[in-house]
Structure 1
């Protein structure tokens, strides 16, 4: 079944796939995404890739480097991003079961909370509210920056027997911070970015074409490392992920506005060659159950898997990376989408509209795909 489909990866700053740009998978060139909330660059790498754009490299030098070679990692989503200060001060809600604390030391990028920024209300009814306002003004709380997957309609009837067991494996073995409900009407699985990303580098990191583009390990530049250690964040990725599960750790870490961070999400668990999920002691053929857009049609013309970087408190979206599978017969020789694939893409957009993730007013702006959706890659910003 997998041989009938071709992968296409796009990225954008919202759920409207008309606003997405084509990602040149396994190329060292980054895709730049920008909106009012963030400036970001991404590299997507996939082992044994045989998708769009046509003639894409089947692999990246990234996978021959450690720890990826030893891990047998199958894909990587590397992101360099700079959160922007909101135009208007917004209140962020404290995480369930915890309240942001006003700490005297530096946040995770070196600035101090000793002096409240001028946007903070002069009077707060409680110390907790003042701390909450400080967090919102300085940046995004470690509680609130989330990364994960979501869907626009129920998938519970499409989940395989034993899926709950697979989820237990994921939460126990891979990401204990993961939370969500795959059986909900609008399923989601999000985790705090602070514990979900395999690598977090505080600072601008490096772009090295010989290593596949954006390449960085756990850590930071000199200022970033100093700031991490000042709040007790461990140097190693394994220890940081464990440390980040505690509420007081997420209290201390703030992804500051106008500061740059590099994150990398990679693992050996999704094999895009045969579209299977391979967990310790459990293998699932994705194509048999993968969420599809063909819910309204008799034939499934495409399937999608969406990764989202978002704000839990404000529900705002910073970045979306979308893996779409199209029937090969629906793709032109130049890599552009035929009418059937365009219609499937539009159906996916309409599901997002119905789910409230796209404003109804934007629906009539277009129904196809971006102009740079063919083989040629255009390095463009999404405004």
Structure 2
């Protein structure tokens, strides 16, 4: 089996799927990457703990109390300003993963169990078809991001400014380690959230309030009340400790999967922010593994093992052995 240390991670991003238009992302950098596309402006920070690639090995982002407590291994932070005529319903702005080619022949035994754990434990709003010719797993952005910050005062400032591009940049909330914002919003953003019934401000534990918004967004009719408006600024942060880019492993509650055993050497991991109705892509982030020259030996790709390691000692498991209940909005806690 190949070693994770034989590979480095290369990340690029753009405002459409065309890799030729993408630019490199400096992981763990302090300056957000600004991307301008027909659907709007996006500022982006990608943070990865124990990163092997072009960039610092970690970020002060992981030293904050929230991420220390969570033991998060990566984070994707965005500041999104929709373009004119690109207001999107909360039901239609999606966040998730998709692929250009089938991956069904490379999905490991137990993948169905892993997906049910994700829907039950992490994101009940996620949906898709990993076995399709063009596989995808998307969830509504309003329920998928751990933190969402709404800045409507920024839209008011932009409308009065003669230099809108400069004003947009001035409104991007950053620290010495990049994008950072609380759940909730500015005064106008918090008032708007209250008007539509969406939980708003950080309490003593901002993560709890973020989960309240996620749970609210999964209730019938809630997402339709949310609108991603032209000119407003939206801070979105997505993070967890379930995908370990250092060990190249998927680590879910009671379930561990070494990814290199099943990687075909071709498919890349892609995160996408898109409009479900129009297909408009606002952001595509590509995580690509590259073999380090001279490291390791070529692996016989036909030599796959069916074993899936569980966190309690590497016992084999399959979908029949791991019962995961059906999920609903009530399962977000």
TM-score, length-scaled by structure 1: 0.68
Question: Shift in Å at residue 142 of structure 1?
Answer: 0.4
Select which of 224, 231, 234 maps to 1:251. Answer: 224
The residue that corresponds to 2:159 in the other structure is none
The residue that corresponds to 2:29 in the other structure is 27
Q: Does 1:308 align with 2:272?
A: yes
Matches of 1:64 and 1:77 in 2, distance apart? 16
Deviations 1:216-247 (A, max 9, x none): 12110111101101100012101100000023
Q: Does 1:18 align with 2:20?
A: yes
The residue that corresponds to 1:215 in the other structure is 180
The residue that corresponds to 1:66 in the other structure is 65
Matches of 2:6 and 2:68 in 1, distance apart? 29
Deviations 1:229-284 (A, max 9, x none): 11000121011000000231111100001111000000000111110000000001
Deviations 1:322-344 (A, max 9, x none): 1111111299xxxxxxxxxxxxx
Matches of 1:291 and 1:12 in 2, distance apart? 24
- Look up the SS of the partner of 1:194 in the other structure: helix
Change in 2 beyond 3 A, CA 1:320/1:330? farther
Q: Is the contact between residue 200 and residue 237 of structure 1 (CA under 8 Å) also seen in structure 2?
A: yes
Question: Shift in Å at residue 17 of structure 1?
Answer: 1.0
The residue that corresponds to 2:46 in the other structure is 44
The residue that corresponds to 2:300 in the other structure is none
Question: Shift in Å at residue 287 of structure 1?
Answer: 1.3
Question: Shift in Å at residue 291 of structure 1?
Answer: 5.2
Matches of 2:45 and 2:173 in 1, distance apart? 12
Q: Does 1:286 align with 2:259?
A: yes
Q: Is the contact between residue 198 and residue 237 of structure 1 (CA under 8 Å) also seen in structure 2?
A: yes
- Look up the SS of the partner of 2:112 in the other structure: helix
Select which of 193, 200, 204 maps to 2:141. Answer: 193
The residue that corresponds to 1:157 in the other structure is 105
Q: Is the contact between residue 205 and residue 216 of structure 1 (CA under 8 Å) also seen in structure 2?
A: no
Q: CA RMSD in A?
A: 1.4
| Structure 1 unmatched runs, 5+ | 87-136, 294-302, 332-383
The residue that corresponds to 1:242 in the other structure is 215
- Look up the SS of the partner of 1:283 in the other structure: strand
Question: Shift in Å at residue 205 of structure 1?
Answer: 5.7
Matches of 2:219 and 2:84 in 1, distance apart? 26
The residue that corresponds to 1:265 in the other structure is 238
Q: Is the contact between residue 13 and residue 318 of structure 1 (CA under 8 Å) also seen in structure 2?
A: yes
- Look up the SS of the partner of 2:65 in the other structure: coil
Matches of 2:124 and 2:232 in 1, distance apart? 27
Matches of 2:264 and 2:148 in 1, distance apart? 30
The residue that corresponds to 2:158 in the other structure is none
| Structure 2 unmatched runs, 5+ | 152-170, 201-208, 296-333
TM-score, length-scaled by structure 2: 0.78
Matches of 1:292 and 1:180 in 2, distance apart? 23
How many residue pairs match? The answer is 266
The residue that corresponds to 2:165 in the other structure is none
Q: Where in structure 1 do 4 or more consecutive aligned residues deviate above 6 Å?
A: none
Q: Does 1:143 align with 2:88?
A: no
Question: Shift in Å at residue 309 of structure 1?
Answer: 0.3
Matches of 1:327 and 1:189 in 2, distance apart? 27
The residue that corresponds to 2:80 in the other structure is 81
Deviations 1:293-333 (A, max 9, x none): 2xxxxxxxxx51100000001011000111111111299xx
Q: Is the contact between residue 205 and residue 215 of structure 1 (CA under 8 Å) also seen in structure 2?
A: no
